[in-house]
Amino acid sequence: MALLTRAPKAEPILGQNRVVAHLLALLTWLIGLLFFFPLFWLVLNGFKDELDANSSPKLFFDPTLDRFSEVTEDTTGLLSFTEAFGNSFWIVLISTTLVMALAIPAA
39-61, pLDDT tens digit by residue? 999 998 889 888 888 887 777 88
Q: Is residue 9 part of a domain?
A: no
The mean pLDDT value for 66-89 works out to 85
Does residue 91 sit in the same domain as residue 61?
no
Does residue 30 sit in the same domain as residue 43?
yes
Percent of the chain whose pLDDT exceeds 70: 92
Euclidean distance between CA atoms 44 and 58, whole angstroms: 11
Does residue 27 sit in the same domain as residue 45?
yes
Does residue 45 sit in the same domain as residue 85?
no
Q: Is residue 38 part of a domain?
A: yes
Which domain covers residue 104, as residue numbers?
Answer: 78-107
Domain count, the chain: 2
Q: How confident is the model at residue 12, as a pLDDT? A: 61
Residue 17 has pLDDT above 70, yes or no: yes
Q: How confident is the model at residue 81, as a pLDDT? A: 86
Residue 14 has pLDDT above 70, yes or no: no
Does residue 27 sit in the same domain as residue 68?
yes
Q: Is residue 44 part of a domain?
A: yes
Residue 1 has pLDDT above 60, yes or no: no
Does residue 69 sit in the same domain as residue 94?
no
The mean pLDDT value for 19-35 works out to 94
